[in-house]
Amino acid sequence: MLRSAIVATQFLTRIPLSRRAGETHELARAAAYFPLVGAIVGAGIAAVAWALTPILGLDVAVVAALIFGALVTGAFHEDGLADTCDGLGGGFTRERALEIMRDSRIGSYGAVALVLLYAARFTMFRTLGGRDLLLALPVAAALGGASGVTLMAWLPNARQEGVADDVGRALSSSTIAIAVATPVLLAAILCSIAAPLLVGAAALVTAIAGLHFRKRLGGITGDCIGATHLAVEVTVLACAVGWTRVAPLEALRWP
């Protein structure tokens, strides 16, 4: 379990916990911890915003938190979002879309997607504020992590090669169950009666994304997983913002 958690952390972040890279069978087991790692990273980002707000003000604190998140993760999912948007936006055929997604250069669709992503994050981080962000962001990031495991278990790889294909083929039912149950439990603990809304929104976005990828590409790629993770995360945060306008996000108000 410890080795799997280390492999998951090293795969999703830039934190050097071990000198040995995870092998395919290890990464398949580590997928169970993807939502947990996402939740921890999300909590760290929210904690930076919360801690710096009294010192720097909310706007600067949110920017610092976003920078912290990019440094910790190496913009791992953001790269996938940019490549996916470039491929689906610029490729009119399956083959052309996959070819564009292989290109490491960012095109206009990817650039626009990243600008809108960070604009949405900044606005929602600022609207939620420190305390509610500490509750919502870990849940949003955990649900994003679960969406990736769900897609790998559900759909074939569009290229029949790569990490997503190798891991998807080796996923066990217990790994999938843990990956799905972790964010659901976390949402129930942190967000109380708002949990069904947040989980339902994540499931809907994952299903829509999966169906779209299957139609356009015949399956998924690692870039698709990163793009879906961020789409789920942003959607869950938007739902949390809407919820806080009518009711507390947590069960009991902290003193």
* 113-141 per-position pLDDT tens digit: 999 999 999 999 999 988 899 999 999 99
* 53-94 per-position pLDDT tens digit: 999 999 999 999 999 999 999 999 999 999 999 999 998 899
Q: What is the mean pLDDT of the chain?
A: 91
- Write a three-state SS string for 97-149: HHHHHHCCCCCHHHHHHHHHHHHHHHHHHHHHHHHHHHHHHHHHHHHHHHHHH
Has residue 112 got a pLDDT over 50? yes
- Write a three-state SS string for 26-52: HHHHHHHHHHHHHHHHHHHHHHHHHHH
* 31-47 per-position pLDDT tens digit: 999 999 999 999 999 99
For residue 163, CA distances in Å to 15, 22, 24, 33, 225 come to 20, 11, 8, 16, 11
Residue 160 neighbours by CB under 8 Å, 6+ apart: none
From 1, 8, 13, 6, select the one nearest 33 (Cα to Cα): 8
**Chain CA centroid to CA 202, Å:** 10
Has residue 232 got a pLDDT over 70? yes
pLDDT of residue 252: 47
Q: Averaged over 165-192, what is the pLDDT?
A: 89
At residue 247 the predicted structure's pLDDT band, cuts being 50, 70 and 90, is: confident
- pTM higher than 0.85: yes
Q: Averaged over 20-28, what is the pLDDT?
A: 69
Which residues share a beta bridge with 157? 220
Has residue 165 got a pLDDT over 90? no
Q: Averaged over 215-225, what is the pLDDT?
A: 94
At residue 196 the predicted structure's pLDDT band, cuts being 50, 70 and 90, is: very high
Has residue 168 got a pLDDT over 80? no
Has residue 253 got a pLDDT over 60? no
**Are 78 and 155 within 8 A, CB to CB?**
no
Q: How far apart are CA 21 and CA 192, in angstroms?
A: 38
Please give the share of the chain, as a percent, with pLDDT higher than 90: 77
pLDDT of residue 20: 66
At residue 23 the predicted structure's pLDDT band, cuts being 50, 70 and 90, is: low
The DSSP call for residue 193 is G
pLDDT of residue 130: 83
